Structure 1
């Protein structure tokens, strides 16, 4: 009896038997359909005021009392900070004394001018004397006006030692403490006026958000998700935060909506439309020489070919392909592990 070489026997075991190779393999076949995709991002943030007011002292001095804390709601005219008025009161009294002296000088100059005018009318005085008295009157009047201005300035300085709220709002910052010496125009408090509010979100970097300017969004409270208000995206930061790697997105809350409190945590969702893709079951994915691939079926011969594809993203149940397939192509969804190029297949159930 003749025997085949051992190598021939081994190769014959790796080759498909003639009858089995010709038998079409029953597989599940799907038709590639191109469809648009939408990616939804859930973003979170907090409610802030679009504008803030820095409250400072007009003149420097020592802080006596600070009557508010961060988070307090204040009313117009409410006393916020009091500075030591000792120096201002002393300056005001000195100015008032100068005003009294100027008033006395003005009365004397006016009397002297009246006497000079009377003497000139009777011929007992000279024109030069009348002119001198008139000039002295004008100088006294100027001195009195200057003293009056100094009094007004000094009294204003006294009033400025009591810092009041110019508008209703919420205190969002405080840097002044009793006993502190502050300079002129140094910030003491920060006020967020009542009125408009905006939500500041942190969106993932790498997502093109430019098209969202002006887009309507629904803003929900994280503490009470059933409470929501409408708004519109008003600003998108051109740079990502280096610490968090996120992009700041601001949405102005509708003016006619119930404005949430400052610092309230909120969330919203943004939907981004991506380029159309072909969505297939994840079981259709195979490995080709150059990477991801799928088995496509020639509708005329029912034979398969390994087709390279580009995977745009993975989902829980599908793969989304951005390149490699066109609408209408037949793709093997199940059974790809039994395929090889040129293998003939038949769709389970008779139709792809």
Structure 2
């Protein structure tokens, strides 16, 4: 029994020793694994640091390159530029003649003209009923006959008295009285004649006539209508049929236009272009819109209808200067300016003065010689001294 117990104890001891040995081996393997993991982590860290270091250098180099913004530039040179100002406006009669009732008026008997018809100076446009005025004139003509008869009688009485005064039958006082009667009768003849002249003038003014030769633009009266001096305009005429375009221009453009310059006018909806010339520019500028009117004289044409809308190209002379697109010219409180490529590809601000505006661009009359490289667009995002990467654009 003791022997078996000792054997079992020895077996147990052996078993415990084996377990201890196995545990030590496992712990050694785990330690070795941890060392490998730590070594790999350190290696990965070193590799990461190397990549970060080199990629930082590359990124810095890339940043420096990316900071130089790529911009399109052009050397505009100098050339002869023909100014052309595009404007819009309204067609109208150059000299519009409003015609109303010149006299007392009355009922319209007939209207003799239609819109679009040509009339001469003094031509009757409308006739007003004159039956009452005709009777008044006839009555006044009879009054003249009565006055003349009275004057003749007074003259005869005076003549007889003058023959009797030598015989002493008529006194000097009677002669003076008869002379005064004769003079009064003669004066009555003149008064009656003047009154007849007034009636004739009133009768003639019953006709509505054209004050000058021209084109009838509008008729506002019909037969049977009762009109008077307060009835307003009955007809509108265009004197001589002459038309004009009243074009609205900004104050800068208006300063470039002078009387006599040529203009090409095209009515809206029409394909035909008419040639005219500026005959008047507004002496004042509207303070709200900052615009003024240039009036372009045009000959008569059926396509030019007053009140219609039209476009025009006004020739504003020529100038020798660099030409730039609108996108290249900026402005602020100091005025207009552009960006040019300076030393070491640095953006440099250059103040300029603009001139003629055309469909192809804007003339720069001061500030550029034409040899500079000017930033075409995106100048609003640049600042003086900023490094740029210019790309020359061929015009």
Fold shared, TM-score > 0.5 on shorter chain: yes
Deviation at 1:56, TM superposition (A): 3.0
Indicate yes or no: 2:237 matched with 1:191: yes
Q: Which moved more, 1:56-65 or 1:227-236?
A: 227-236
Q: How far apart in 1 are the matches of 2:210 and 2:230? A: 18
- More strand per residue: 1 or 2? 1
**Residue 207 of structure 1 aligns to a residue in which SS?**
helix
- The CA deviation string for residues 258-299 of structure 1, in whole angstroms up to 9 with x for no partner, is 64345276543124578955748989x9xxxxxx9868364x
Distance 1:126 1:33, change over 3 A: same
**Residue 252 of structure 2 aligns to a residue in which SS?**
coil
Deviation at 1:48, TM superposition (A): 3.8
Long gaps (5+) in structure 1: 22-26, 286-291, 334-339
Distance 1:297 1:118, change over 3 A: closer
- The CA deviation string for residues 177-212 of structure 1, in whole angstroms up to 9 with x for no partner, is 4423312795432322226x2422323435331341
**Residue 122 of structure 1 aligns to a residue in which SS?**
coil
Which residue of structure 2 aligns with residue 123 of structure 1? 168
**Residue 116 of structure 2 aligns to a residue in which SS?**
coil
Q: How far apart in 1 are the matches of 2:94 and 2:266? A: 18
Which residue of structure 2 aligns with residue 141 of structure 1? 186
**Residue 305 of structure 2 aligns to a residue in which SS?**
coil
Which residue of structure 2 aligns with residue 55 of structure 1? 99
Which residue of structure 2 aligns with residue 305 of structure 1? 346
Deviation at 1:147, TM superposition (A): 0.8
**Residue 296 of structure 2 aligns to a residue in which SS?**
strand
**Residue 169 of structure 2 aligns to a residue in which SS?**
coil
Aligned match for 1:263, one of 298, 305, 312 = 305
- The CA deviation string for residues 320-344 of structure 1, in whole angstroms up to 9 with x for no partner, is 98999765445799xxxxxx97799
How do residues 1-352 of structure 1 correspond to structure 2 at under 5 angstroms? 1=43, 2-3=46-47, 4=49, 8=53, 11-16=56-61, 31=75, 33=77, 40-45=84-89, 47-64=91-108, 65-177=110-222, 178-183=224-229, 187-194=233-240, 197-222=242-267, 228-236=274-282, 238-240=284-286, 247-253=292-298, 259-261=300-302, 263=305, 267-272=311-316, 276-277=321-322, 279=324, 296=341, 298=343, 303-308=344-349, 327-329=370-372
Distance 1:73 1:125, change over 3 A: same
Q: How far apart in 2 are the matches of 1:230 and 1:148? A: 53
**Residue 249 of structure 1 aligns to a residue in which SS?**
strand
Q: How far apart in 2 are the matches of 1:141 and 1:316? A: 81
- More helix per residue: 1 or 2? 2
Q: How far apart in 2 are the matches of 1:63 and 1:56? A: 14
Q: Is the 8 A contact 1:61 1:181 kept in 2?
A: yes
- The CA deviation string for residues 6-43 of structure 1, in whole angstroms up to 9 with x for no partner, is 864652341228xx98xxxxx99865646676663323
Deviation at 1:150, TM superposition (A): 0.9
Distance 1:66 1:46, change over 3 A: same
Q: How far apart in 1 are the matches of 2:363 and 2:174? A: 107
Deviation at 1:246, TM superposition (A): 5.8
Q: How far apart in 1 are the matches of 2:76 and 2:102? A: 73
Long gaps (5+) in structure 2: 1-42, 66-70, 331-336, 377-384
Q: How far apart in 1 are the matches of 2:256 and 2:325? A: 29
**Residue 150 of structure 2 aligns to a residue in which SS?**
helix
Distance 1:101 1:281, change over 3 A: closer
Q: How far apart in 1 are the matches of 2:240 and 2:77? A: 53
Q: CA RMSD in A?
A: 4.8
Q: Is the 8 A contact 1:220 1:229 kept in 2?
A: yes
Deviation at 1:116, TM superposition (A): 0.6
